[in-house]
Structures are given as structure tokens and as C-alpha cells.
Amino acid sequence: MNNYLITIIGPTAIGKTALSIKLAQHFGCEIISCDSRQFFKEMSIGTAVPNPTELAAAKHHFIQNKSVFEPYSVGDFETEALAKLDELFKENNVQIMVGGSGLYVDAVLKGFDDFPDIEASVREEINAKYDVLGIAYLQNTLKELDSDYYNKLLSENPQTLQNPQRMKRFAEVCLGTGKPYSSFIGLRKNKRNFTPVVIGLEADREKMYERINLRVDLMLKEGLIEEARVLYPNKHLNALQTVGYRELFDYFDGKTTLDFAVEEIKKNTRRFAKRQITWFKRTENARWFDYQTDFSEIVQFTESQFSN
């Protein structure tokens, strides 16, 4: 394989966009965005979409190309992004992908395991029991039917055990197939026509939090409140269940003050960044750099990963 996908990962507000543009200019290539919040054309300020100058500096794909009213899954993105990369590699064997959505990065780099379809009646029964018994029902179901996977989550990713959507999925696969959820992991081999070169950006926690707080302040100056107010009538949409909008919707509902909402945005963005780091640190063969690392050093590393 002589195609290379330079993939830039890291927490929000760390400088991924700026680095991706410099690398795109250096290698004369284009950029695939895999930030699941930047897909939607109705959201720009609160999702830190690259500004017009940045978009003009290098060609981007998957930026504000969907509507919040359209269903769009990570599987849809995987299919579309791989098709776009096939096109781009015909012009240049080096391309760039950047974004903070770990699940979407994984979708492109390695794909997902192939799970069987589950009868709707199984899903309905699980939802009904969850409504009565809560998250404990889902946890106990996984613990009973796939104890190995339950224990793996408990030790490596305990927050997943508190995620109702993920836990419902685990339960429906176990109950719908009669087999452990983990028995389906790794069965499908997803082939890729490129070699990933993964660059992680990081900073010490204090600096990272400082950058996040400054970004939120900038978003507010640029009109985040007004943008959220326009979207408020559609606050039930899945695409809008995200940090920066959710807190302002509570303010519009009269549940909080504006000052409290702003502090919640900063706090929840910091928490989001911590989850991003936890996810991305598991990425195979990633090389991590301080966000202030000289550009030439990153280029040198990147080129060293290309075979002659």
C-alpha cells in the first residue's frame, strides 16, 4: 500500500485544524473532517467549524454537508469517507483526516465489527424493561450473558456501563442471538487501501483547560447565544444534544441563569476533552506531540513513516 492517511487526533481546542491545514499545504493534499458536530450546516459557532480563511487555505470535505434534520450515522460517514478517499488518492497518495470524534476516526481507520440484525420485538422488550428497572437491568443482563465483556468494561471503560444506548445494544445482541456480545467482535476483517500515520496533539491539563475556556469565550463573542436561539425550537433533535447548545437550551427554558449556563459549557467541554483523551490514547501506533511542537519536527516524523 502506497497511500497514506495522515490522521490528526486530540482533544478539542488543541490546534488540530491549524496543523491539518499546514500539513495539507505542505503535501498539496485535501482534508477529510471527522468531527461529528461539524457535519451540520445549521451549526457553526458552537462546533468550531473552520472559518472562511481556513476553509480557503485547504480544501475540506464533510464540513457542514448535512442538515440536523437528516439522519446520519457513523456507518454512513464510514461509507462516504472511504469513497471520497478513493477519489482523492487517485490525485495524491497522501491525504489528511482530522477531528475529535473518536468513533468516527475508528470507523475510517479500521471499521466496525459485523453484528447480526436483531428482531424489533427484542429491542422493544428491552426498552420496556429499561423504563421500569433502569440502567441496572441492562448492566445485570450483560453481566449474566457476557461476563467477560462486562468485566472488561468495568476495568477499562466503566463510563460505558452508565450509557443506556450502548448498554441497550449489548443487551439486544446477547438476548437476540443467544450469544455473548463479545463473540462477534473481531470476526469481520475490514480492508483499507491506505496506511494510517496517526499524529496526536496534547498539552498539560492546565493549558488544555485554559485553551478550552478561551474558545468558549470566543464563541460567545462570535454569537453562540444567537445561534443556539435559532436552533432552540428543534432542541429535541439528536444532532443538538451536544455541549454548547444543551446548556443554553436550559437557559432559554428558564432552568438556569446565563452565567451558570456559560460555566456549564466550559465545565462540560473540559469533561468532553478528558473523554477524548481517554479514547484517543488507545489509538494504535499514534505518535503524540505537544501542541507547540515545531512544525518541521512533525513533518519529519510524518515523512519518516512513508516507505521508499
- The annotation status of 116 as a binding-site residue, yes or no, is no
- The annotation status of 17 as a binding-site residue, yes or no, is yes
Instruction: List the beta bridge partners of residue 98.
Output: 8, 33
253 CA to centre of own chain? 28
- The annotation status of 180 as a binding-site residue, yes or no, is no
Rounded to the nearest 10 degrees, what angle do helices 74-89 and 102-109 cross at?
A: 50
Residue 299 burial (C-beta neighbours within 10 Å; 0-12, 13-18, 19+): middle
DSSP annotation of 134 reads -
- The annotation status of 14 as a binding-site residue, yes or no, is yes
- The annotation status of 195 as a binding-site residue, yes or no, is no
CA dihedral (105, 108, 109, 114) positive or negative: positive
- The annotation status of 12 as a binding-site residue, yes or no, is yes
User: What totals of helices (H) and strands (E) does the chain contain, helices first?
Assistant: 13, 6
Annotated binding-site residue numbers for ATP: 10-17
Annotated binding-site residue numbers: 10-17
Annotated binding-site residue numbers for substrate: 12-17
